[in-house]
Amino acid sequence: MIDLADRFPDAEIFLFLAIMHSFNSVQDPTTLRKNAINILKLYAACGADLKRFMIFNPADVPGHAQLNRVLTCITHMWFMERMHSYKEALDKWKAKEINVGVFCYPILMAADILLYDTDLVPVGKDQKQHVEYARDIAMKFNNTFGETFKIPEPYIEPDVWLIIWIDNRKMSKSYNNYIWLLDDEKTILKRVKQISTNTQTVEEPKDPDTCNVYKLCKLFLTPEEDGKLRKRYEVWGLSYKDTKEYLYEKIISFLKPIQEKYAKISDQEIIDLLAKNAKIVNEIAQKKVQEVYQKIGFTLK
């Protein structure tokens, strides 16, 4: 998001809190609120410009729930049953464990996107299908009720569209195989030491592209640093202990300024920002909702 903001200095940027989505699985109010504040503080700590980025809570904007209801009514069950996560649950005999919110998650995501005439939606590989759902739902609405929604495009950065951890699954909080932005040095070191490597000795040249440590290192490297590290792999003298220490240092140097900035941001600062932005976002969202309501017949005039 920050890279895109630099690339398109005149673009409007909406960065929202997925609290309505989190309620699918986190239904303890204290935990939900704490997580929400932490995430928004991390947005700011990672470099989101609080004056330019429209950071908001969709639960403060009725338009999200209103449009979600409309889009749910025009979307068929067979269409939703194509969803990868639902089919995966069926394969694991876990369909009965999915609540309706999880099943309809892509429709809420479509509402989040379509309310604001969005051009680009930055996502990871696993979210690409959800943006495609938003596109399909928007086109169906436009074909039925007339041109209303802009058709969004997914924006996927190839270098980070899917980050694989040492268990060969995507790095995810759900799998507990991730490094959190607020992890302490001891926790990070433990995670890095767990990375598996092959049995090649220090004297043997190594293929960086087959090394889990290198793949993670590359996320933090400039092209020049990447070239130097690859050369070290391709000649003798590099130990996997060295590569893990290098990765650890890169992660710490990346996270330290984020953690320092995070510590300086108060909860109240974030709460005040949300209150201010809710007024701006509500005005935009309600214009789109009223246009939709007029076209589908909810407005009785």
One-letter amino acid at 115 equals L
Residue 280 has what pLDDT? Answer: 96
Residue 86 has what pLDDT? Answer: 79
Same domain for 23 and 131, yes or no, is yes
Q: Is residue 168 part of a domain?
A: no
Q: Which of 125, 170, 261, 295 is flagged as catalytic?
A: 170
Same domain for 12 and 149, yes or no, is yes
Query: How many structural domains is the chain composed of?
Result: 2
Band the pLDDT of 169: cuts 50, 70, 90. Answer: confident
Q: Does residue 131 surpass a pLDDT of 90?
A: yes
Same domain for 130 and 206, yes or no, is no
Q: Residue-wise over 182-195: b if at least 16 C-beta within 10 A, else e?
A: ebeeeebbebbeeb
CA-based nearest residue to 119, from 140, 138, 143: 138
Same domain for 38 and 123, yes or no, is yes
Q: Which domain holds residue 192?
A: 185-262
Residue 252 has what pLDDT? Answer: 97
Q: Is residue 96 part of a domain?
A: yes
Query: Is 92 a known active-site residue?
Result: yes
Q: Is residue 178 part of a domain?
A: no
Same domain for 141 and 272, yes or no, is yes
Residue 92 has what pLDDT? Answer: 75
Q: Does residue 91 surpass a pLDDT of 80?
A: no
Q: Which of 92, 96, 186, 301 is flagged as catalytic?
A: 92
Question: The domain that contains 29 carries what CATH number?
Answer: 3.40.50.620
Same domain for 117 and 10, yes or no, is yes
Residue 226 has what pLDDT? Answer: 95
Same domain for 225 and 136, yes or no, is no
- Report DSSP letters for 212-231, one per residue: HHHHHHGGG--HHHHHHHHH
Band the pLDDT of 230: cuts 50, 70, 90. Answer: very high
- 165 Cβ partners below 8 Å, 6+ apart? 171, 175, 177, 178
Residue 117 has what pLDDT? Answer: 96
Query: Is 87 a known active-site residue?
Result: no
CA gap 204, 21 in Å, rounded: 49
Q: Does residue 167 surpass a pLDDT of 80?
A: no
Same domain for 67 and 134, yes or no, is yes
- Pick the more confident residue, 168 or 221: 221
Lookup result for tokens 């990070």: 188
Query: Is 170 a known active-site residue?
Result: yes
Q: Is residue 71 part of a domain?
A: yes
Q: Is residue 103 part of a domain?
A: yes
Q: Is residue 177 part of a domain?
A: no
CA gap 53, 281 in Å, rounded: 12
Band the pLDDT of 23: cuts 50, 70, 90. Answer: very high
Q: Does residue 61 surpass a pLDDT of 80?
A: yes
Q: Is residue 179 part of a domain?
A: no
